[in-house]
């Protein structure tokens, strides 16, 4: 992630960002093409193969397991955002699924109405008032913003996978997780229409705005009307 940020184009002003959330579109499109090529010829075929050979019950368990590993990040960022009641529920969710749920393979917590949340350091920075900065497509990591890209580092340090000492094992686990996540996005591709780059960009920015502010804008509105 930090290597990817070395390729960030020149600085921007807050006024420019307001007028245009994607001032680096030329750069971003090049990275998007690279990522799309990587996905088309490697990640997507692996994801399809995974769905063919993996039984539904095993896939569900593995997806739950990796989702459970994200709970420490969710809990810490919930606390940083002042969502103390939510963070307490997330902590209980993590304990239940890690013990009774057999390391998270079984989502026991949802049966007790402990809903899963999604919090990260990029959201925390947004809640603290930091502007997102321009839209940014990161190599292999995909859609982001300058703020969200910076937030990836502390989030990764909260991921138990980062604690795996052996590099080859750690990279293998990260790769396997990526295949599982990609497999669960296969059906969503049917929703993409028109210019893939613009569609994904607008959905990403709208979703991030919702997660931070609890509101969205119509991605098809003219940007000057925001």
pLDDT band at 126 (very low <50, low <70, confident <90, very high): very high
Q: What's the pLDDT score for residue 18?
A: 53
Helix (H/G/I), strand (E/B), else coil: 142 = strand
Boundaries of domain holding 36: 23-105+115-213
Mean pLDDT rounded to a whole number for the chain: 88
Q: Is residue 204 part of a domain?
A: yes
Query: Does any domain span residue 137?
Result: yes
**Residue 226 belongs to a domain:** no
What gap in Å lies between CA 101 and CA 114, rounded to an integer?
A: 13
> Each residue of 65-76: pLDDT tens digit?
999 999 999 999
Q: Is the pLDDT of residue 221 over 90?
A: no
Mapped onto helix, strand or coil, the DSSP state of residue 118 is: coil
Instruction: State the DSSP code for 214.
Output: S
Does any domain span residue 73? yes
pLDDT at 67: 96
Write out 12-68 in H/E/C secondary structure.
CCHHHHHHCCCCCHHHHHHHHHHHHHHHHHHHHHHHHHHHHHCCHHHHHHHHHHHHH
pLDDT for res 215:
44
pTM (whole model) above 0.85: no
Q: What is the pLDDT of residues 143-169, one digit of tens each?
A: 999 999 999 999 999 999 999 999 999
Q: How many domains does the chain have?
A: 1
Rounded to 5 degrees, φ, ψ at 101 are -85, 15
Read out DSSP for 128-141?
TT----SEEEETTT
With respect to residue 8, please indicate whether it lies within any of the assigned structural domains: no
Q: Do 158 and 151 contact (CB within 8 A), yes or no?
A: no
Q: 211-220 pLDDT, tens per residue?
A: 988 743 433 3
pLDDT digits (tens, 9 = 90+) for 173-198: 999 999 999 999 999 988 999 999 99
Query: Can you tell me the distance from the alpha carbon of 9 to that of 101, in angstroms, rounded to the nearest whole number?
Result: 45
């Amino acid at each position: 992630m930090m290597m990817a940020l070395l390729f960030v184009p020149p600085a921007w002003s807050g006024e420019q960002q307001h007028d245009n959330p994607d001032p680096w579109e030329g750069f971003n499109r090049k990275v998007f093409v690279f990522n799309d090529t990587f996905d088309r010829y490697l990640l997507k075929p692996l994801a399809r193969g995974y769905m063919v050979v993996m039984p539904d019950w095993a896939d569900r368990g593995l997806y739950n397991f990796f989702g459970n590993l994200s709970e420490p990040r969710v809990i810490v960022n919930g606390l940083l955002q002042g969502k103390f009641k939510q963070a307490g529920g997330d902590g209980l969710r993590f304990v239940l699924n890690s013990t009774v749920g057999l390391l998270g393979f079984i989502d026991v917590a949802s049966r007790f109405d402990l809903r899963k949340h999604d919090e990260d350091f990029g959201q925390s920075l947004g809640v603290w008032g930091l502007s997102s900065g321009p839209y940014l497509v990161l190599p292999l990591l995909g859609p982001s913003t300058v703020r969200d890209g910076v937030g990836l580092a502390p989030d990764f340090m909260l991921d138990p996978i980062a604690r795996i000492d052996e590099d080859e094992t750690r990279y293998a686990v990260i790769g396997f997780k990526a295949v599982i996540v990609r497999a669960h996005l296969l059906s969503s591709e049917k929703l993409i229409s028109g210019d893939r780059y613009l569609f994904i960009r607008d959905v990403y920015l709208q979703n991030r705005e919702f997660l931070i502010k609890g509101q969205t804008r119509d991605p098809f509105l003219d940007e000057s009307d925001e």
